[in-house]
Amino acid sequence: MFSFHNITANNGWAMAAVGASIVFSGLVILSFAISQIHKLLALWDERAQYFGQSKKQGLEEETKGPGAPAYSPPHIPPVDELARIYRPLAKQLKEPFDLIQLFEKTKEMDIPHPHLSIKRLREAGYLLPQQQDLFIWNKQKDN
């Protein structure tokens, strides 16, 4: 009653092999397909952006009068205000720190225009350069 002959007689080996192969290949194909969805969407979005921009540009050129500003700079708060925002972030870092670390902190806090803001803080002397491209917060400026 218990016999490998039962398997052979009922085409069991073939059913198992074919069935397992089909389900495996099916899920491999599906996993590959879903791994590509976000890439295809990114491509599609870029394409839409490109066409959208050129259409927008065309429209803007048509509606703008001569001499209208082509670019409006981002609004950056005064440097004192920037120092007030960035001081607690810098305090969280071990001195001397890399500006990239400070930049990461601003990203975490979703603070706008970090590149320009850090540049202004450097120019205003709030961020003092040390060795090997590292910086410290100028505490004298806080007083």
Partner 1 sequence: MFDLLIHFLQNTGYYLADYRHYIMLVVGFSFLYLGTSKNYEPLLLVPIGFGILVGNIPFFKGFGIGIYENNSVLHYLYFGVTTGVYPSIVFLGLGAMTDFSSLLSQPKLMLLGAAAQMGIYFTLLSALFLGFLPREAASIAIIGGADGPTSIFLTAKLAPHLIGPIAIAAYSYMALIPVIQPPIMRLLTSRKERLIKMPPSREVSKKELIIFPVVGVLLCCYLAPTALPLLGLLFLGNFLKECGVVDRLAKTAQSAIIDTATIFLGFTVGCSTQADVFLTPKALGIFFLGAVAFSIATASGVIFAKIMNLFLKEKINPLLGAAGVSAVPGSAREVHLMGLKEDPTNFLLMHGMACNSSGVIGSAICAGILWSFFM
| Binding stretches for partner 1 (CB under 8 A) | 1-4, 6-7, 10-13, 15-20, 22-24, 26-35, 37-38, 41
Q: Transcribe 58-89 into DSSP letters.
A: HHHHHHSPTT--S--PPP---HHHHHHHHHHH
CB of 3 to partner 1, least distance (A): 7
C-alpha to C-alpha distance for 118 and 103, rounded to whole angstroms? 8
Are the C-beta atoms of residues 120 and 79 closer than 8 Å to each other? yes
Nearest Cα neighbor of 114 from 72, 85, 143 is 85
Give the nearer residue to partner 1 in terms of CB position, either 7 or 59: 7
**Cα distance from N-terminal residue to C-terminal residue, the chain:** 94
Q: Is residue 131 classed exposed, middle or buried when 0-12, 13-18 and 19+ CB atoms within 10 A define those classes?
A: exposed
Give the nearer residue to partner 1 in terms of CB position, either 1 or 100: 1
CB of 21 to partner 1, least distance (A): 10
Give the nearer residue to partner 1 in terms of CB position, either 23 or 59: 23
Give the nearer residue to partner 1 in terms of CB position, either 12 or 88: 12
CB of 48 to partner 1, least distance (A): 12
CB of 100 to partner 1, least distance (A): 21
